[in-house]
Amino acid sequence: TPGDADSLFKITQPGSYYLTGNITGVAGRHGVEIATSGVSLDLMGFTLTGVAGSLDGVSVTVNNSQNISVVNGSVRSWGDEGVDLGTMPSRGCRVEQILAVSNAGNGIAVGLATTVTNCSAYINTGHGIATNSGCAISMCTTYANSDNGINTGAGCSVSACSSGYCCPACSAP
């Protein structure tokens, strides 16, 4: 799907979408913008790599979106969040098998009543994984994020996760 002034690719209709290759970001733009509910985005094991001044790797830009899935790939080096389903709070979503590394904001940010499963978030400037209320985070790993490894809202559950931190001033973990 073609992009617009603030995204390389923009999804405006519900449905199932997948990547066919790696994506390299552009300053001032999201990698993939989701502007509707009912979207399943499979990264198919590919990587979305940001550049200086880029926005989010994957971003929901419509308030109160629901039933969005982002699965199976990597987001790294974006100018803000790697995966952002939380700034314009979405609900009832799923993030699974995502590797979020070296993003300038949170690695993964989600809205209400969302599941985050089997994800890893390393060396992000914000939280590794940040959630709103009523979320379930399981089998995730975070390490060396500048803020909390996992930061949750009220009524969330965290199970079978590992979270470690190394002071940014340290030369070794």
pLDDT tens digit sequence for 103-131: 999 999 999 999 999 999 999 999 999 99
Question: Residues 105, 127: contact at Cβ < 8 Å?
Answer: no
Quote the Cα angle for 75-110-83, to 5°: 15
- Mean pLDDT in residue range 13-38: 98
pLDDT at 172: 39
* Rg of the chain on CA atoms, in Å: 15
Question: Across the strands, what pairs with 96?
Answer: 71, 117
Amino acid (one-letter) located at 87: T
Counting every residue written for the chain, the total comes to: 173
Evaluate if residue 167 carries a pLDDT over 50: no
| pLDDT tens-place string over residues 64-100 | 999 999 999 999 999 999 999 999 989 999 999 999 9
**Is the whole-model pTM more than 0.85?**
yes
